[in-house]
Structure 1
Amino acid sequence: MSTVNVTMALVLGGLYAGGFYLLLQRSLMRILLGIVILGHGANLMLQLAGGPPGRPPMIGETPPAKMADPFPQAMALTAVVITFALTTFLLALAYRAWLLLGHDEVRDDVEDRRIRRLERRLAESEEDEEEMETEATQ
């Protein structure tokens, strides 16, 4: 890999933007694709962080100044394994949701709806109190 240039920075930004956009969708397959794209973005970022390519890090064969840093490559391999694990888990989850529900849409949480309704009621009651106070002062 070469060092970071404008093209690679734009590709990396595009991967992250597309991945986060898909991650915020309601379909499990889109969420899965978002995680895969974010995984590719993480791998590209780790490879770019490794700097310019160098010689294999074999002690005695290559001077230390010309050796490639193996740490970003090891981190990229770890990111590949984590992305693979998340992908298989989400595929199993999406398949099970498809079998049970007939679709892969993520439903709203019932508790979130209840809290939203409660906040709306509180806001309406505060507005009513403010109107009553302004009418009383006039």
Structure 2
Amino acid sequence: MTGKRVIKGSAVVMILIILGKILALIRDSLIAAKFGATYTTDIYNFALGIVYLLTTISYGLTTTFIPLHWERMQKGSKRDRNNFVNNVINISSIFTIILTVLLIVFSKEIIYVFGHGFTSS
């Protein structure tokens, strides 16, 4: 893989991220226009904040994964590349499962800490 292909691949990822941000802005505008500033939208935005946190973590993983994978494509064997990709997928999957279980188990505590202004109604 040449440097030009890496640049093209990075550009595609960047464009997709920008498009995702634009779509998120449109989504937020439509939700605000439809529901206004109510407790329902506050709860929705709170829940979406958790998704944003996980998305930010995945962006970090993407920006570190691409250069490391490219380096292995240049210097390593196909088996080395496959082992690297498998390790990343396995570690990411285990992390996601553990995080999901923790979020479910401690959901009330998380809401109490981060959503302290919300009431049960």
TM-score by length of 1: 0.39
**Structure index of larger Rg:** 1
| Higher helix proportion | 2
